[in-house]
Amino acid sequence: MSKHRLVVAFIGFSVCVLFIGLVSCAPRPEEEASPTAGFGSEEGDIFTGGDSDAATPGPPGPVGTIDLETVRQEVREAGGGFWSVLQAPGAAGAQTYEVDAREDFMGAFTIGNYEEEALSLVFSCIVDFAQTPCVEDQTERIHRLELAAQEDATLQLRLSDLSEGLHDVIFAMFLFPDEHSTDPMFRLDSRFMYDYRRITVHVGASRTSPSLALVAFDEPDEMAGQGMHFYTLSRHGGDRWEESWQLEEEASPGESLEYYITRNNPEERAITYAFLAFLDYEQVPISGDHMVLYAQVGSQRRAMPRGEVIAPSELGEHEFFVLVADNPYVDQLEQYTSSDPLWANSYTSDRVLIRVQ
């Protein structure tokens, strides 16, 4: 079996430990997500221009403290898996933490590779949709980890200078970041090589969030009318949007590469999406100096915004993708008790291999 097939099997057969609500685990691509996840519901699978699925949302509750040895034992008894645990003070329920005004958010993030093969990954914090240094005593925006089989590692996290109000935080994990295979199946599977924990942080007494510069999209979409979700990244707009961009064989240093993001909305209400671009796992502008695109997509409509990535000056192979966060600044504590909750999913496009020559 090729390496990329092993990667998919690795993620596909990872299992959640028995501490439901405490531990996040990688999704099973062969299973369908719930309708509230927005993808792969019984009404219709996601269409992406290739094989795909969406990352499962995080567990239903946060963790203050937990006995990691008990977690490890549960994972072993369940047959192994890729898992993560966030432990932090101020756990308030439903993926929500509370921090006093002018205090830092601090926590311990444990990542476990309880499979038979070693695993490399990039860990990064995305705070209010900006990639932010967060590992204690480090200034880099990304942190690389090499985990042997049956090994876990704990990162000490600190988020400083948080203003009063509601903050949207994603702890992102990008698996096998240095794999540059041109195998089409690897490229299709590459969107599965992402896991995350998304939390809401309330700082002080306020729960206000920033006003967003929304770009409205209202193009009719036939697939949305059939209840089908799709998300894809393409070099082409218009009728060729479903031709997934996976490989750029020849790019010159500094060359501008145009692409199109397509995301539809089959729901019965407008949905907002945050789009963020990453080159070699570092956040880059979607276009120009716009680091984030907040797209509001009407019911039964789709968005097809244009983006632009600048090829690096360094010769060689580079990875590019666009990450999506549904419903930016959703208050997960509030949504937990809602009869019609908004989901807090995050997922990526296929990775694009850009060869700079």
Residue 77 vs residue 239, higher pLDDT: 77
- Rounded CA-CA distance 33/27 in Å is 9
Q: To which H or E segment does residue 220 belong? A: strand 219-220
Is pLDDT at 99 greater than 60 in this prediction?
Answer: yes
Q: Does domain 3-203 have CATH number 2.60.40.10?
A: yes
Domain ranges of the chain: 3-203, 214-356
Given this model, what pLDDT does residue 215 score?
96
Is the Cα dihedral 233, 237, 241, 245 positive or negative?
negative
Is pLDDT at 50 greater than 50 in this prediction?
Answer: no
Given this model, what pLDDT does residue 75 score?
94
Report the pLDDT averaged over residues 94-112.
96
Residue 295 vs residue 10, higher pLDDT: 295
SS3 8: helix
Report the pLDDT averaged over residues 33-42.
28
Average model confidence (pLDDT) for the chain? Answer: 85
Q: To which H or E segment does residue 185 belong? A: helix 184-189
Per-residue model confidence as pLDDT tens digits over 183-242: 999 999 999 999 999 999 999 999 999 999 999 998 888 888 888 899 999 999 888 888
Report the pLDDT averaged over residues 63-79.
91
Report the pLDDT averaged over residues 171-179.
98
- Rounded CA-CA distance 10/236 in Å is 32
Per-residue model confidence as pLDDT tens digits over 286-331: 999 999 999 999 999 999 999 999 999 999 999 999 999 999 999 9
Given this model, what pLDDT does residue 223 score?
85
Q: List phi, psi (to 5°) of 181.
A: -60, 145
Given this model, what pLDDT does residue 30 score?
34
Q: And the tokens for 10?
A: 């690795």
Given this model, what pLDDT does residue 336 score?
87
b/e 211-239 (16+ beta carbons within 10 angstroms → b): eeeeeebeeebebbeeebbbbbbbbeeee
Residue 27 vs residue 203, higher pLDDT: 203
- Write the CATH number of the domain with boundaries 214-356: 2.60.40.10
